[in-house]
Structure 1
Amino acid sequence: MSKKPDYRPNVAMIIVSNNYPEKKEIFIAQRNDLLDIWQFPQGGVDKGEEVIDALFREMEEEIGTDRAKIVGEYPKWISYDFPEKIAKKMKPYKGQTQRYFLIKLKKDAQINLDTKHPEFVNHKFVDIDDVLNHTAHFKKPVYETVINYFKKEGLL
């Protein structure tokens, strides 16, 4: 893991529908605390937790299912800084360092945003070429880097 003590370790997922690879639709969800913000599901890696375990735990916690399989993984940790307004709430962290995974939902996966601690109020699948038009500005450089990597690998 990247040794950035002021960055919160995190897993993030680019989820494709079970129509993948025929259709390259990407899951995004609308936050419940920032209604104009859409993002990929993500969450912290607990101390001592394996990254893959954190990935499936966070998926279940955020979208109500872990019925998925890993299609690809971005090969290194990638970081971003929180905007000042968010950084105040996230002290002592000034940003997040993340591991990104490309995830395909299984046919029997049922998305349910009404989880124990709901983070999202809505979700949708958008075309890969349209996804950045919907997402938070401060995350776009990371999203673009990771999406371009998966495209280059022939996965998106």
Structure 2
Amino acid sequence: MPPIRDQMPYRDCVGIALFNADGKVFIARRILAPGPDQSEVLAPWQMPQGGIDAGEDPLAAAYRELFEETGIRTIRLLDQVTDWIHYDLPDEVLGIALRGQYRGQRQKWFAFLFEGEESEIELSRDTEGLDPEFDAWRWEDLTALPELIVPFKRPAYEAICAAFAPIPARLNGAARAEP
């Protein structure tokens, strides 16, 4: 018998919108593991995100997850979304994806400015015995992200893009104002 969606909890997570000085946002391509959950095969690009450990502060989780997934530490907090942003898994992977325990995720999103050198970005590093999650990355326009993400996450990405919409222009203006 399939799991009953309404009886399943959301997994608490953080998401990171990492901007460069030009107002572009960091996205990375997930390494797709073999198995029954192929929900992200058609759109494997996403911003870094990950679970909040028990008792962990969401902001601390955002710093930790970004470092674990990308090796990036040289950042400055720009903004955060105060509300939780939710997405639900599609029926075909409910009970399979997210270790089969969750109906989807509820996420706290943070916007950071990347202040380091791109050589700091290291997707293949071994962090605490974890396998890498991504195999490629690039800088992208924030407004392009909803079309790049897997469809079931699109409403969440639209909310994230709306929340952080002023940041690219603010960063572009700051870059142009520098001598």
TM-score, normalising length from structure 1?
0.85
Decide which of 42, 47, 62 is 1:40's aligned counterpart: 47
Deviation at 1:31, TM superposition (A): 0.5
Structure 2 contact 85–108 (Cα < 8 Å) conserved: yes
Provide the C-alpha distance between the structure 1 equivalents of 2:45 and 2:93, rounded to a whole number of angstroms.
Answer: 15
Deviation at 1:104, TM superposition (A): 0.8
Q: Who is 1:10 aligned against?
A: 13
Q: Who is 1:78 aligned against?
A: 85
TM-score, normalising length from structure 2?
0.75
Provide the C-alpha distance between the structure 1 equivalents of 2:92 and 2:26, rounded to a whole number of angstroms.
Answer: 26
Q: Who is 1:155 aligned against?
A: 167
Decide which of 86, 91, 97 is 1:89's aligned counterpart: 97
Deviation at 1:141, TM superposition (A): 0.7
Larger Rg: 2
Aligned ranges 1:40-119 → 2 under 5 Å: 40-87=47-94, 88-90=96-98, 91-108=100-117, 110-116=120-126, 117-119=131-133
Q: Structure 1: give runs of 5+ residues left out of the alignment.
A: none
Deviation at 1:58, TM superposition (A): 0.4
- CA change 1:143–1:31 in 2 (3 A) is same
Provide the C-alpha distance between the structure 2 equivalents of 1:85 and 1:9, rounded to a whole number of angstroms.
Answer: 21
Provide the C-alpha distance between the structure 2 equivalents of 1:14 and 1:125, rounded to a whole number of angstroms.
Answer: 11
Provide the C-alpha distance between the structure 1 equivalents of 2:152 and 2:105, rounded to a whole number of angstroms.
Answer: 12
Letter in 1 for 2:57: E
**Quick check: which one's helix share is greater?**
2
The two structures, once aligned, show a CA RMSD in angstroms of 1.9
Q: Who is 2:4 aligned against?
A: none
Deviation at 1:66, TM superposition (A): 2.2
Q: Secondary structure at the residue paired with 1:129?
A: helix
Q: Who is 2:135 aligned against?
A: 121
Provide the C-alpha distance between the structure 1 equivalents of 2:105 and 2:62, rounded to a whole number of angstroms.
Answer: 15
Provide the C-alpha distance between the structure 2 equivalents of 1:44 and 1:24, rounded to a whole number of angstroms.
Answer: 26
Provide the C-alpha distance between the structure 1 equivalents of 2:48 and 2:93, rounded to a whole number of angstroms.
Answer: 17
Structure 2 contact 23–167 (Cα < 8 Å) conserved: no
Structure 2 contact 86–107 (Cα < 8 Å) conserved: yes
Structure 2 contact 8–103 (Cα < 8 Å) conserved: no
Deviation at 1:103, TM superposition (A): 1.0
Provide the C-alpha distance between the structure 1 equivalents of 2:136 and 2:71, rounded to a whole number of angstroms.
Answer: 13
Q: Secondary structure at the residue paired with 1:130?
A: helix
